[in-house]
Amino acid sequence: MLNLAVVLSGAVSLGAFEAGAVYELVLAEQAGLRSGQNALRIDVLVGSSAGAMTASQAAYCLQTGTDPQSLYTAWVDLASLDRLMPRGQETWRGNSLLSGRAVQELADQVFVPPGSSPGAPAVTWPIRLVVTLTSIEGAQYYVTRRDKSRLPVWSYADAMTFRLAPQSYDPELWDRIKKAAIASGAFPVALPPVPMTRKPEDFVIQDTGSENGEVTLTYYDGGVINNRPFGLAVDAVLDLAPPGGPVAPHTFVLIEPDPPELRPPKPHPSSYDMVDVGVAAFATAFRHDSLYEDFVNFVRVNDRLAIADELTKAMARALAAAGPEAAQLFYDELQPRLAAVGARAARTAGIDVQTWVSQALVRSRRRVAMSLPSVQNQGSKMMESLAVMRLLVDMAAGLESKEAFEASRVSPADPANELAGIFFGHFGGFLERRFREHDFMLGRWYMNRWLQEHGITYESNAAWPGDPPRGLAQVSWRTKVQCLWIVVRGLALAGAQVWKRIRGLSGRLV
């Protein structure tokens, strides 16, 4: 069984590539459920911006047994510039260039209540769906210090975790998911921000300073701060495990249409102008460091688990050489200490100490058996001694709730020459349907190949879509006029807002 945690980055119109890749994942999952020989288990979906919208759709298809064709409908048929053009009163609002109402209508068409007889099998396991957000105002929290005083802190990065029960549909929950996905996809300036009321349990730090703990914040593109939320996927996998219980080994797959490339250094520091420095300071470094930090932690945990495995092997050799009495003495000395060291972890998990110790030892026995398959033939006391030792080592190293994971990325081999919607800052796909259809089929082809490489076989018609159509030469004159109108309107709105602020500032100075 391949346990899969899917991470979807922000991608603007290249979300069509991500949707195609996820289409293949859902297709493979439902094919396995239908045949009763399922070799794939998708239980974590995490997304930012356009990836949040696609992750939410995928979770909906898996939980309700909906045909993944809805992904094609959303990203190929409906995500067009013509539909996103502002109309009526939206034309004169100054907080976005495109229509927020159109995005809401698109979501309403995709997230419809499931019928009485789903078109495909629904999954029989819980799913964790995580959507990243960025708030305009920033959330204020209070951290209680040792002297009981409260220290205010602020955070603009946010996320919402949704725990989806198998084979069930909660309309209120899906309304919240839909709103969160729209907020995460609200690209700054292009789409309007979305206000949301959050509850204390939504936050890591639950002291928000308000009387009832609820806070209303205005959210926009979740990819601004955390565009590739790999670390949140790890947290979601750990959240699936029972308190103190084993964590199922997972493979993490990051679906990213256009991964960043390392820019070659310029010959002299003076070669960098203000634009270069500004982009590096406010966009490039800020957005990409989150994935670097997540991967550093990922590798660090894997390395520490490997060291713990080697220590377990060394202790097994020492106990085997000393004889059965040594294993008994070792166990008698260390076992009573488990209750003391596990008390805090048990309180955090909300269970009694003995239950926590019992569940934690199950995971330790599994780790010992994986690193030393032959130890099971050396007597139960040897296994118990090593399990107790391993649990104490893992707790000292902060590894008792960690697992070694595998990670990979699904991306085009040559994004610049394979993606149709890559131009116009990744907005190009919104201009023509055939651009989006090409990228959708490209995502299907790459994910189908990845699944085959990992031993997942199923019936699919995914095929190489050929060379991409793209560029303004492929765009109709009507669409070109719409683009020009958006640019002119944006400049007019921005100019009016800047002039209003200048007048207000000059009035205060006088």
% of the chain surpassing 90 pLDDT: 29
Tell me the C-alpha distance between 448 and 268, whole Å: 45
pLDDT of 442 over the 80 cut? yes
Mean pLDDT (whole number) for 290-306: 71
Token pair belonging to 228: 């590739």
pLDDT of 97 over the 70 cut? yes
Mean pLDDT (whole number) for 80-98: 78
Mean pLDDT (whole number) for 427-452: 93
Indicate the range of 314-328, 371-385, 415-429 predicted with least confidence: 371-385
pLDDT of 350 over the 80 cut? no
Question: What pLDDT score was predicted for residue 41?
Answer: 94
Question: What pLDDT score was predicted for residue 183?
Answer: 94
Mean pLDDT (whole number) for 111-130: 83
Q: Diameter of the chain by CA atoms?
A: 91
Asked if 38 and 455 touch (Cβ cutoff 8 Å), the reply is: no
Q: How confident is the model at residue 283 (pLDDT cuts 50, 70, 90)?
A: low
pLDDT of 363 over the 90 cut? no
With a CB cutoff of 8 Å and minimum separation 6, the contacts of 401 are 238, 241, 247
Asked if 196 and 219 touch (Cβ cutoff 8 Å), the reply is: yes
Give CA separation, 264 vs 240, 258, 268, in Å: 42, 18, 12
Amino acid at 181: A
Question: What pLDDT score was predicted for residue 223?
Answer: 85
pLDDT of 267 over the 80 cut? no
Return the closest-CA partner of residue 240 out of 43, 1, 7: 43
For 346-375, letters b (16+ CB in 10 Å) and e give beebebebeebbebbbebbbebbeebbeeb
Residue with the larger pLDDT of the pair 125 and 189: 125
Question: What pLDDT score was predicted for residue 95?
Answer: 77
Token pair belonging to 333: 């000395």
Asked if 375 and 382 touch (Cβ cutoff 8 Å), the reply is: yes
pLDDT digits (tens, 9 = 90+) for 155-172: 888 899 999 998 788 999
Secondary structure of 267-327 in the HEC alphabet? Answer: CCHHHCCHHHHHHHHHHHHHHHHHHHHHHHHHHHHHHHHHHHHHHHHHHHHHHHHHCHHHH
Mean pLDDT (whole number) for 56-80: 93
Amino acid at 86: P
Helix (H, G, I), strand (E, B) or coil at 416: helix
Asked if 376 and 369 touch (Cβ cutoff 8 Å), the reply is: yes
Question: What pLDDT score was predicted for residue 344?
Answer: 73
Question: What pLDDT score was predicted for residue 452?
Answer: 93
pLDDT digits (tens, 9 = 90+) for 370-399: 778 776 655 577 888 888 888 888 887 777
Indicate the range of 111-120, 282-291, 304-313, 439-448 predicted with least confidence: 282-291
Indicate the range of 20-24, 143-147, 315-319, 384-388 predicted with least confidence: 143-147
Question: What pLDDT score was predicted for residue 93?
Answer: 65
pLDDT of 145 over the 80 cut? no
pTM of the model: 0.81
Tell me the C-alpha distance between 23 and 54, whole Å: 10
pLDDT of 51 over the 90 cut? yes
Number of Cβ within 10 Å of residue 277's Cβ equals 10
Q: Is 325 exposed, middle or buried (0-12, 13-18, 19+ CB in 10 A)?
A: exposed
Strongest mean pLDDT among 195-199, 401-405, 491-495: 195-199
Question: What pLDDT score was predicted for residue 174?
Answer: 93
Helix (H, G, I), strand (E, B) or coil at 156: strand
Residue with the larger pLDDT of the pair 358 and 29: 29
Return the closest-CA partner of residue 474 out of 417, 440, 433: 433
Number of Cβ within 10 Å of residue 326's Cβ equals 16
pLDDT of 346 over the 70 cut? yes
With a CB cutoff of 8 Å and minimum separation 6, the contacts of 57 are 19, 22, 70, 71, 74, 110, 111
Give CA separation, 385 vs 103, 202, 245, 337, in Å: 59, 40, 19, 13
Token pair belonging to 376: 């099971």
Helices (H), 124-247: 171-184, 230-240
Q: How confident is the model at residue 284 (pLDDT cuts 50, 70, 90)?
A: low
Q: Pairing between strand 406-410 and 251-255?
A: parallel
Mean pLDDT (whole number) for 233-252: 80
Token pair belonging to 264: 């070659």
How far out from the chain centre does Cα 198 lie?
19
Asked if 85 and 99 touch (Cβ cutoff 8 Å), the reply is: yes
pLDDT of 211 over the 70 cut? no
How far out from the chain centre does Cα 326 lie?
47
For 52-68, letters b (16+ CB in 10 Å) and e give bbbbbbbbbbbbbbbeb
Tell me the C-alpha distance between 10 and 363, whole Å: 36
Question: What pLDDT score was predicted for residue 445?
Answer: 96
